[in-house]
Chain A
């Protein structure tokens, strides 16, 4: 029913007013006053976050620079689990699963939405790991935040057929204040590191584990045995809401696309597009981006920021969309909106002529 269309309008940045006014304004501008819609916005990281109360409306406006990109969807078609999980949706495969899930699942209750968050980490594979272990995935959004932790050698006690045995192990020794690792709250000093991206660290030296972690730093999945075992997930009650485990469980509930069974996946798959190298051809004269991002309709805004990401976004388009079919588009779009240049500079395979190329900084 809705075509994809866009509107551009302005708000007073410092006095955004109330959410309800904004909601009405939106409906008015788009001439859809009769519909119940869900409003979302793209934050600086390209994540789709909802606007449904005064607080997050204010947050959205204040974080918009220079433009706030607002998405409007029909209320009954909104898939809440999409919010804040876009990073993963770049994978086509993940998208498929996502959609299937949408068909099956009832819409979530609003209260369980991670309103203002984008994922910096998630707990994954809860179902296949022992309760004492925790598998944590750290998302590095560009380079703006360091991973920020240190590891050390240590001894760990294992139960073996010969009784208790002391074996060498690798432990987290320090957290950098303000770093990604600390901000997740999922890792702590003295947690024992058991695996890095699905590979056991037993028998490996500190330097080896360091090198492995750095080599996987763009998508680091560490399995730890937390030093503090009191916050472990209790399997029998997987419902969220109980305060003691909320931090741990919220992410896992909304991390459907991330629930790879780590043992089974081929690591190359996961990173096939994540690790695209930047190729600069010819001299240093700037070139245009050909048809790469001309996926969807027209442009809501032209950004004239000078940073790389802004320039890359100049041809990008936004749409007001509704309907299930457009979910995919939103995600493609969001992924290309991400500020991390490496994600934006994906070279389309075979999509380019012999001579024409590609992307410049």
Chain B
């Protein structure tokens, strides 16, 4: 019968769906993965970051951001803004140049790629002849100078990107008047740097890698000055008045050169090795900044003593007697100085230094004493310790929001008060409709609270759970103890610290009650902490309890990590969330599920062994339930992660091998063995084919490794080869077998849920706790919570009321109770705070159980199946994440409905209606290969979501037409003030007329 009732295309519903659902990826939060280039426009006050995957991101004032992607997905090597324009040029590692523009479109700016261009040399010339090494956008805005590996400088017209061959500066022309003996030693050099004269746009400084620097006159096309450097050149920088420039070198030295009309071949003024006398590393970039008081700032990257500090990533700032070497925890990609860009200003007067390191952005305030760091409003390093879990809370009450901010502000006192110096563009986005918190748990035992309301994800407060425990590493040991007299004067900056002292501290589950301010966090070693928000520092003892989840099961030995040792006596906690209860599961397996009921003052937690309920008011364990199948040795013995990762890595290596096999077949081409693919090819044949191929590979790797003198490497290669052959023998195959009760990890508790519902009979409802396991079992416990006035006097009681074994035995990932109106039950305290209607306790309740394979609705109190939606059996996808989301119509403000948002293992998001479980719409969201992206996904209550696109970046997406947080901003061309600009403008007009 049901087939006739299947959803046809109801036009009303279809229209409503269009008003409710819409999929958009709106903004990327966090720090770009693998940044490779940095650019800055003082004119637009915008910063650009390029990445190894070909992305380019522009940032200005908070909320102003743009993103572009090069089709080639090649590494962005350099980014240069065209002076006084809304344009920039990028150079990729395939030697292609791309011109991008910010164009205004219906009131907002957009970043668009305009043109692309690859420099071509004369026929027959080697590719290196046109390999671009240095780019100089000329201040006329008409020309782009391109230095190449061959030593020639090519000229390209803007914005057409048309080469002007007659203007090119050939290396031979430069070398004409260089003294004979000097030029003999240094031929065929690559162009290391191109710098325009700050006062005379007709002169450019060309620096060659072997040390020669020339000043080239553009009008006469000839060299006016020769500077015969003796060291390999790294970079050049003009002094503001154009009377001097500074060069930095591979040996860790920098040299000042005078530029005057009397001497066409001057000697250096000064040659300094700042961290000498022992051999130093190269200084790769240098700034010379003048100030009113006369003392210049010399800022350079690198130059550390090679032997003792060669591994540091440093940038040194020297200003008179002050000198600091800022020490970064990851490689420095590039940096720039923000200084007065007014052409009429006499001095540079630098205000801030912006450093792009591989893993974070650090901005140093150069105006305040002590050069403090500036707290960036965006580009937060989400991964300063690896993210282990995340939790989103929508619509935070103002009171709690303010208290969290106040707790966080006490942690940020060491930051500079300077306003954010990169402030170009205007944010047009409306104020976010509500206050949202994203909580991330980290490997080092911290929880970070992010303001996720708008486009800029920024850190409000950081909570550390480490203090509760005794760990091997004393936090005081790690303090930077370098004193004033230390040399070099290193100072650690930035927050990126990927090293965890103790992986057991890792946070696995977070639950925050936004009404009461109770927070529960649970970690890798079975620790569960319940915390309360306190606005003051406090010192108190954390109550400690142990939950033995194995109960009377005997004869098992836990082979995983030990539980964390706790600190005896009172512990001092700073203002913010302070733990008052610690429950430690025994065995100390990772906590896999967590639920907190702030009204009943109960916390429930589950591991691979079972689950327990703790009364945090009376500080008493209510009960524990072991879910372990007695034969499940794997779950008993050790941390799940180990077993799983081994399995995963095996699977991955199989895949890798398969991929390489496939691609190599492709390479062999049409001449290859075609019979291999014929359908009747027998197992033996394909096996022998793969075997011989395996041998072939082995030979190749042998050949490659012969050149390595190290025996170890040979041995490794041999091992690889053997392993490879071994794996080649076993094809990638999957076992088809029904699940059984004896499978491993069936006891693993996947989900916990509190509900006030009809568990026993339809006349009385009562508090209940629901738990779902990996083996498809749902347990329901009836709870008796004493009324508030006797809450401390009587114990909380629990009694098992139901046990449901789903026949398909798939892991239960979500449990939900729907009230008489088929609305999901409200959160604890939601009704008490007048933020939700009271649930309907008149009509009959329903139970929704979501397993990885299907969604099923049961009646309550008698559990019988009402309807279901199968996903895996029909589509082959499995449920990874599920949540209830409220969708409002974009057309009418008074209509909204609750649906389920489901993320599958294929990376699709499906919206499924409640309570009839009809698929509404499906969107592809994450690539199915991106396992960590899928695992990291978190939905909000209003149809948005976040997932990690890299260890350091969250992609934000929206399923809703109504709730959409995306950048909306405009970059206006600022008023042109100086004469210089006016001249330039006329120059442009001339150029336009010419073309």
Contact = CB atoms under 8 A, between A and B. Distances in A.
Interface stretch (A6-14, A122-130, A206-214, A328-336): A206-214
A155 B686 CA distance: 12
Interface string A248-289: 000000000000000000111100000111111111100000
A207 to B, nearest CB: 7
B784 interface: no
Contacts of B864: 279, 347, 349
B738 interface: yes
Contacts of A143: 738, 740
Interface stretch (A31-39, A61-69, A300-308, A351-359): A351-359
A101 B906 CA distance: 45
Given A143-B738, A143-B740, A214-B737, A267 B805 contact: no
Interface stretch (B427-435, B873-881, B935-943): B873-881
B805 A277 contact: yes
A53 interface: no
Nearest to B651: A207
A153 interface: yes
A262 to B, nearest CB: 13
Contacts of B870: 215, 267-268
A206 B739 CA distance: 18
Given A266-B2, A349-B864, A275 B734 contact: no
Interface string B789-826: 00000000001111111111010000000000000000
A342 B735 CA distance: 23
Nearest to A351: B864
B808 A211 contact: no
A279 B3 CA distance: 27
A218 B739 CA distance: 10
Interface string B651-688: 00000001000000000000000000111111100000
A214 B736 contact: yes
B862 interface: yes
A166 interface: yes
Contacts of B863: 279, 281
Contacts of B739: 214, 217
A80 B778 CA distance: 44
Q: Give the one of B677, B799, B853, B876 with max A CB within 10 A.
A: B876
B731 interface: yes
Interface stretch (A81-89, A189-197, A309-317): A189-197
A148 interface: yes
Contacts of B6: 266
B716 interface: no
Contacts of B736: 147-151, 181, 210, 213-214, 217
B801 A281 contact: yes
A206 B736 CA distance: 11
B351 interface: no
Contacts of A209: 734, 876
B762 interface: yes
Contacts of A215: 808, 810, 853-854, 870, 872-873
B732 interface: yes
Contact of B734 (A147, A156, A207): A207
Nearest to A151: B734
A146 B737 contact: yes
Interface residues of A, number: 60
Q: Give the one of B682, B735, B861, B878 with max A CB within 10 A.
A: B735
A24 interface: no
A275 to B, nearest CB: 5
Nearest to A273: B865
B733 interface: yes
B222 to A, nearest CB: 63
A274 to B, nearest CB: 8
Given A190-B682, A217-B736, A280 B803 contact: yes
A97 B317 CA distance: 91
B856 to A, nearest CB: 8
Contacts of B94: none
Contact of B732 (A146, A153, A268, A347): A153
A157 B679 contact: yes
Given A210-B734, A279-B803, A156 B679 contact: yes
B737 A140 contact: no
Contact of A279 (B658, B680, B761, B804): B804
Q: Give the one of B2, B861, B872 with max A CB within 10 A.
A: B872
A218 B800 CA distance: 29
A277 B679 contact: no
A193 to B, nearest CB: 10
A276 B864 CA distance: 9
A204 B908 CA distance: 14
Nearest to A192: B679
B313 to A, nearest CB: 41
Nearest to A169: B679
B766 to A, nearest CB: 14
Q: Give the one of B737, B762, B856, B877 with max A CB within 10 A.
A: B737
A347 B23 CA distance: 42
A46 B14 CA distance: 49
B782 to A, nearest CB: 10
A213 B683 CA distance: 22
A189 B681 CA distance: 11
Contacts of A157: 677-679
Contacts of B802: 279-282
A284 B854 CA distance: 28
Interface string A145-165: 011111111011100000000
B876 A211 contact: yes
A111 B945 CA distance: 66
Contacts of A152: 731-734
A347 B858 CA distance: 13
A280 B806 CA distance: 11
Contact of B2 (A174, A197, A217, A268): A268
A279 B854 CA distance: 18
Contacts of A283: 799-800
B872 A211 contact: yes
A168 to B, nearest CB: 10
Contacts of A211: 853, 872, 876-878, 905
Nearest to B878: A211
A299 to B, nearest CB: 28
Contacts of A216: 873
Contacts of A268: 2, 868, 870
Contacts of A279: 802-805, 863-864
B873 A355 contact: no
A181 B856 CA distance: 30
Given A150-B735, A151-B734, A197-B873, A357 B862 contact: yes
Nearest to A264: B3
A147 B735 CA distance: 9
A213 B861 CA distance: 33
A98 to B, nearest CB: 20
A212 B807 contact: no
Contact of B876 (A150, A174, A212): A212
Interface in A30-59: none
Contacts of B906: 208
Given A208-B877, A277-B807, A279-B863, A155 B735 contact: no
Contacts of B683: 173, 189-190
A357 B863 CA distance: 10
A70 to B, nearest CB: 32
Contacts of A278: 804-805, 807
26 contacts: A140-B738, A147-B737, A151-B733, A152-B734, A173-B731, A174-B733, A181-B736, A189-B683, A210-B736, A211-B872, A212-B874, A214-B738, A215-B853, A215-B870, A217-B738, A218-B738, A266-B2, A267-B874, A275-B808, A277-B804, A277-B806, A280-B803, A282-B800, A282-B801, A284-B800, A355-B761
Given A147-B736, A150-B734, A227-B680, 5 more contacts: A181-B736, A266-B6, A277-B807, A278-B807, A284-B800
Instruction: Enumerate the 4 nearest inter-chain pairs by beta-carbon distance, A residue then B residue, closest first.
Output: A208-B876, A217-B738, A215-B872, A215-B873
